[in-house]
Amino acid sequence: MSEDDRSQDDWKRDDWTPDKLVEFDKPHPNIITKQPAPIEPQIKSESRPVATSMNDQILRGIDNGLDAFGKNVKEVFYLEMEGSKNVKRSEILDSAEQFQGMIEQFFKLGSPLVERCIGREILRIFNLPPEAGLNFKTAVEIVRRHPHKESTSKV
């Protein structure tokens, strides 16, 4: 008889025992005990340095803008850009026209949204307010006009 076949009266009986006995004298691995967890040694690794140059910060803004559409989308976009336009991530600012063309080719009708998102993230990194008509190129121009407002936020 399965648990579903038992009536309410069966559940109320004192002499009823489950089909499978459970051992309570051994701690179950999923049950939290009062003993502190063993401390595992941690390997000290250097964290990624904060982007210091303006170009590094702009590239970080591009990454953040593309991340809004998913990490995998960003990775596929960069792979496709390198394959079809022969432009690496580090070369985006030297090839702004090709980068914009790749956004239009990859995202098609969604490209204005992607460019606004990238532009907004670039300005956010530099603590600048977003402006009307914002896209990738206007954000870079705004940042280059305000080089004294560098980011203090970490990656």
- The single-letter code of the amino acid at 123 is L
* Among the ranges given (49-58, 70-79, 112-121), the one the predictor scored with the smallest mean pLDDT: 49-58
Average the pLDDT over 78-92 and give the result.
94
Long-range contacts (CB closer than 8 Å, 24 or more residues apart) made by 73-79: 77/102, 77/106
pLDDT bin (cut points 50, 70, 90) of residue 150 is very low
pTM of structure: 0.62
The top-scoring range by mean pLDDT among 6-10, 18-22, 140-144 is: 140-144
